[in-house]
Amino acid sequence: MIKQLITALVGCILVSGVWASELPKELVHTLQKVQNSYLNKIYLYKVKKDVKPARGNRYEAEFCMEVAVTADTVLISRMPDTESSMKMETKHGGKISIDTKSLINSETCYISKDVIVNLTSDFQFQSNTNRVANAELLAYINEGADWRSSPADFFDSSPCGAASGLSAPFFLGVPLTSSSVIRWTSAERVGQEWILNGYIKANDYDPSVGSDYPNVSVRAKVDGHTGLIMSLELLRPLRSEGQWQRRTAQVVAKKYIRNAFFPSRIAFQWDSSSRNYLATETYELLAVEPITQIGMPEIPLGTQVIDSRLGHPVRYSWTGRLLSKDELKQLAYQQGSLLPPETPQRRYSFWMFLPAIVLFGLALLFYLKRRR
């Protein structure tokens, strides 16, 4: 049976409370214990990305990624780290880095219960050169979420994707008991490993497909001693017979750091039955340091903000603080992107106009008599 996997960082690859209760208590307890060891720490990774299409040019990129985790907040930062990287300052004082070869740019994602902030950059190159002509810092703001219980609510784009879907168990220690879409069908201990098998309904995995699509199968291996998830695989069958897409995540090495085991080398891989591409991402853990709290990233005054907390984007310039929901609504009313609630309309009846009609009739009658 082909091992299982994913085609994109789709949120929620974990199991609901009802299904989690059917897993062995020993396993559930071990997974939850691992999550606690990830808290109040900051992790530095060296990342290598390699995409080999069946046709066309190979794509390679290198960058660093920092992941800071507390009980309430996650902060993930991506930073280009190659000779072709260049640092720039925007007109509002924002500092950004761009790798002119791989086009990887600096980016920060802040996730809390109150708000999600994604700081990224928009840039253009000068004609026929690899020099950046214009660069602007952008702040995307969304409604907050609890990263420990609802990973599907986060962005799938990098770097916020490190806190969602298939990645969250490896970078945040999120246990396989924190979501609502995986149905585990078996959990068996083989030697020092737990082997878990389950599935995700097709339209839970991808809402754009119908319920008649085949389920996405899930397979996980958990170290029975450390509680680390050593591999996680999803296989997505396609409608055509024998066609599939998959993604695998595997812990290649682990280290004992600060009284706990952590994955020190993680490999992600994407492929498909068509063999059109093979994509890999390798994360090497360089350092782990303690932290006590995480603050929202600094946004320079005047930075362009795209705020979607009302369910649709509202644009404005950053003034140094987060607008309240009421302030955001007022701004949306002014911009015309949100219509104010309709004021109750007064109901008019025929009897309200009857006196005016009678007076008009009498005046007309008096006028006609005088003309005679």
Asked which of 290, 325, 351 is the last residue of a domain, the reply is 290
Asked which of 267, 290, 313 is the last residue of a domain, the reply is 290
Q: Which residues of the chain carry a pLDDT beneath 70?
A: 1-21, 124-133, 149-159, 163-165, 178-180, 339-354, 364, 366-372
352 with 237, same domain?
A: no
Specify the pLDDT at position 69: 94
Task: Check if the beta carbon of residue 99 is closer than 8 Å to that of residue 84.
Answer: yes
Question: How many domains does the chain contain in total?
Answer: 2
Specify the pLDDT at position 323: 95
Specify the pLDDT at position 13: 34
What b/e readout covers 29-57, taking b as 16+ CB neighbours within 10 angstroms?
Answer: ebbbebbebbeebbbbbebebebeeeeee
What is the spatial distance between Cα 245 and Cα 6, in angstroms, rounded to a whole number? 7
In-domain check, residue 295: no
In-domain check, residue 178: yes
Question: CA neighbours within 13 Å on the CB side: how many for 136?
Answer: 11
Specify the pLDDT at position 267: 95
What does the angle CA 311 – CA 315 – CA 320 come to, to the nearest 5 degrees? Answer: 110
351 with 268, same domain?
A: no
pTM over 0.85: no
In-domain check, residue 310: yes
C-alpha 249 chain-centroid distance: 18
What is the spatial distance between Cα 74 and Cα 12, in angstroms, rounded to a whole number? 17
What is the spatial distance between Cα 300 and Cα 320, in angstroms, rounded to a whole number? 8
Specify the pLDDT at position 63: 92
165 with 279, same domain?
A: yes
At which residue do the structure tokens 């879907």 appear?
165
Closest CA to 78 of 118, 26, 22, 127: 118
CATH number of the domain encompassing residue 47: 2.50.20
In-domain check, residue 237: yes
175 with 229, same domain?
A: yes
223 with 273, same domain?
A: yes
In-domain check, residue 5: no
What is the spatial distance between Cα 291 and Cα 301, in angstroms, rounded to a whole number? 27
Domain of residue 310, residue span: 304-371
168 with 226, same domain?
A: yes
